[in-house]
Structure 1
Amino acid sequence: MNAWLVRAVLLGALVVALRTVLGFAMVQWPTQGSWMRMLCLLALLIVIVGWGVLDGRRDRVAHPDPERGSDLTILWLKAAVAGGLGSGAVSWALDFLPRFDLGDNGLLFELTAGASFIVLLIFIPGLIGVGIGRMLAGRRRGNGTPSLTKNPAPAGA
């Protein structure tokens, strides 16, 4: 499976799972909704940034030269779009099941406004994590920047 597809499926499933847990919790404790929403958002952000850090470190170790690294921007963008659209469609379908309270949003909302929020929620923290991971791996190597001259010229040249 493609790397972006794995991220899309797992992060989209995490979004749906957190929305489902939040829906059940809101039915049980309706006055505690604000901190429960923040807790779910924080859990999602920790997973996304953590995965981005792992990607960035792995890429910098594989490609020490910053100019030769993998294009993780497109990978995370594809994962974010597929994860956002997929989680919106699954959430809309799950909302029809009895005892599932996922907001009663229509399909148009879930595939446009809801999905765009999830796309940004996956893409931006993912790239922040990639940047942090590359920076950490670069610091572990030494000064963080590769040498400009691989083979210096002899002193008499």
Structure 2
Amino acid sequence: MHQWLVRGIVMSIIVIAVRFALGEFVSNFPEESPTYRTLALLIVVLVALIWGGVDGLWDARKNPDPDDYEDLTMRWLKAGLFAGVVSCLVCFILGTYWLKGMGQSSFFIDMTAGTSFITLLIYVPAFIGVSVGRYLIRRDLRKKELAAQDAAERAGDTGALSTSGTTVPVTAGIDGSSATGGASSAAASGSATATALAYRPTETIATTAAAGGAAAGGAAAGRSAKRGLRGARRGKKSATETAAVAATTAAAGSSEASGSVAVPAGAHLPLADPNQVPEGFPIKGNADSGLYHTPESPWYSQTVAEMWFATEEAAQAAGYSHPER
């Protein structure tokens, strides 16, 4: 059975039951008629709102990519229209032949104005519930992605610093002997290192900087590959686009290690202050998600830019996608 038909049948039964109860209460307690009518409307609205919210939550969990969402708008529009026609028809028949207190109007009014009112009474709350449910799931997923991204970057940065810290060479001391960390105690190694730095500072510092840059470049390339794989598993991008994003960021990491700058056309590497926008490059590109964000995007301020772009076309050419396409 179609999903919209199930919802239409259930909502028809609820509307018929509510109208029957309303007729009984109004007949016995006419002075409380406004209160009972308000309660009857709230019952129908709350059922549609909650059911629509559950549909939105379920759909967003099943399909993390908004492009894969099911068409819940048409589902609930059909359900509301079905419930409006069936409930008004049944209530007219019951009110005409069996239950005189149902308060039915003429057949034409019930099947036009009554059907339209019931349809909107079900569809609008259900649509709001669907939107809220999807928003809550997308917000949670976004928080998890940002947390995972930050954790991966911290782990990569820590590994790069640790690696570069162990590559400081120790050259010959003043007495001509060679000092190595594995053959001497920590104190002796520290002393020899200090002596070497004092005796040949230029060579030692250059070697350390080169080693640190190579380690940082390797870490950046490794993070890029992992992010590309995560993006492919989530199904957010095609294999070609994912590879392009990973290759772009990996190339940037390699260029940092070698001291040169190689970026795609229309792109700019992050500045020393990662939050500072390069002049003429306002669009943020995030390799972890494979998405780019314009200043109008609701996620712009939360996104860590690993590449800046001048135009959306430049971001798309580098393999990035718009978050809502």
TM-score by length of 1: 0.91
Separation (CA, whole Å) in 2 of partners of 1:112 and 1:121: 14
The 5 Å alignment of 1:32-71 reads: 32-71=32-71
Structure 2 CA distance for partners of 1:110 and 1:55, relative to 1, 3 Å: same
Q: What corresponds to 2:297 in structure 1?
A: none
The runs of at least 4 consecutive aligned structure 1 residues that moved more than 4 Å come to none
Q: What corresponds to 1:153 in structure 2?
A: 246
Separation (CA, whole Å) in 1 of partners of 2:120 and 2:145: 30
| Structure 1 unpaired stretches of 5+ | none
- Percentage identity across aligned positions? 36
**Residue 100 (structure 1) shift:** 3.8
User: Which whole-Å deviations, capped at 9, do the CAs of 1:125-147 have from their partners, x for residues lacking one?
Assistant: 1100100111112223234999x
Separation (CA, whole Å) in 1 of partners of 2:100 and 2:58: 39
**Residue 106 (structure 1) shift:** 1.6
Are 1:105 and 2:200 an aligned pair?
no
User: Which whole-Å deviations, capped at 9, do the CAs of 1:74-130 have from their partners, x for residues lacking one?
Assistant: 111111111100011001011024444121312111110000000111111110010
Separation (CA, whole Å) in 2 of partners of 1:133 and 1:65: 14
Q: What corresponds to 1:94 in structure 2?
A: 94
Q: What corresponds to 2:182 in structure 1?
A: none
Q: Secondary structure at the match of 1:64?
A: coil
Q: What corresponds to 2:117 in structure 1?
A: 117
Structure 2 CA distance for partners of 1:99 and 1:126, relative to 1, 3 Å: same
TM-score by length of 2: 0.45
Q: What corresponds to 2:30 in structure 1?
A: 30
Q: Secondary structure at the match of 2:251?
A: coil
Are 1:6 and 2:22 an aligned pair?
no
Separation (CA, whole Å) in 2 of partners of 1:79 and 1:47: 13
Greater relative contact order, per chain length (Cα 8 Å cut-off, separation 6+): 1
| Structure 2 unpaired stretches of 5+ | 147-227, 232-241, 253-325
Are 1:18 and 2:18 an aligned pair?
yes
Q: State whether residues 138 and 145 of structure 1, in contact with CA within 8 Å, keep that contact through their aligned partners in structure 2.
A: no
Separation (CA, whole Å) in 1 of partners of 2:47 and 2:144: 25
Q: State whether residues 20 and 100 of structure 1, in contact with CA within 8 Å, keep that contact through their aligned partners in structure 2.
A: no
Q: State whether residues 135 and 144 of structure 1, in contact with CA within 8 Å, keep that contact through their aligned partners in structure 2.
A: no
